[in-house]
Amino acid sequence: SYELTQPPSVSVSPGQTARITCSGHTLPKEHVYWYQQKAGQAPVQVIRKDSERPSGIPERFSGSSSGTTVTLTISGVQAEDEADYYCQSADSSGTCRVFGGGTKLTVL
Amino acid sequence: QVHLVESGGDMVQPGRSLRLSCAASGFTFIRYTMHWVRQAPGKGLEWVAMMSFDESDKYYADSVKGRFTISRDNSKNTLYLQMNSLRAEDTAVYYCARENIFDSGISNGLDVWGQGTTVTVSS
């Protein structure tokens, strides 16, 4: 089955920039969405359609794409950003959805 | 306010069945594609199933195909997941989520999620 690949973990100090990548062969033609999940809570969408920020999401969250890799960037990381982050897209048929394995962001 | 509230989670024995419900409020339910996503203990998110706004399309993950059935009652603003032949590996928190797919085919992704309901499959 189709998979999206994320690094298991990323660590940054407060105020630094965190970059979380997501790779998959369908990404040049399928949009990617990013979700933040804090411990014990439901996921929250932080980026839609590769680079759009939903209402209420801080400006420090941004997304970009290049070929088969998309990147979630968190500028000026704050302690409250510590969470698991998941990318999501569609499979090659464009119908079934797929999530990346998730990246644990640790704020040192 | 926009809300999704899941219910129906329980502890069941392997091979048994369970039906989950997801009650929607605060938005026009019939306009949205709906999904079930699950998360096994200590694991990542796994997409399970989806149903289009008009019930014309439904798709499943390979791991549940033939055992799970997604349905919706637009008159009751409710999404369902019928789970049969449950296995230990189906143990997870099950979330429902909405997706707005525009006429162009472009989607805003899963923009609202419920808090989840827990299913435990164990003898």
> What is the number of other CB atoms lying within 10 angstroms of the CB of residue B45?
26
Cα separation, A43 vs B44, whole angstroms = 11
pLDDT at site A4: 95
Residues of chain A contacting B110 with CB distance shorter than 8 Å: 33, 35, 43, 45, 88, 97
* Statement: residue A93 has pLDDT above 90: no
Please indicate whether residue A28 or residue A55 has the higher confidence score (pLDDT).
Answer: A55
**Ranges under pLDDT 70 in chain B:** none
Is B106 in Cβ contact with A42 (below 8 Å)? no
Residues 6+ positions from A21 with CB-CB distance below 8 Å: A6, A7, A69, A70, A71, A72
Closest by Cα among A101, A1, A38, A39 to B45? A101
At residue B121, the pLDDT reads: 98
Q: How far is B14 from chain A (nearest CA, A)?
A: 25
Closest Cα to residue B89, out of B18, B41, B21? Answer: B41
Note the pLDDT of residue A72.
Answer: 98
User: pLDDT tens, A9-40?
Assistant: 999 999 999 999 999 998 888 999 999 999 99
Cβ-contact A17, A74 below 8 angstroms: yes
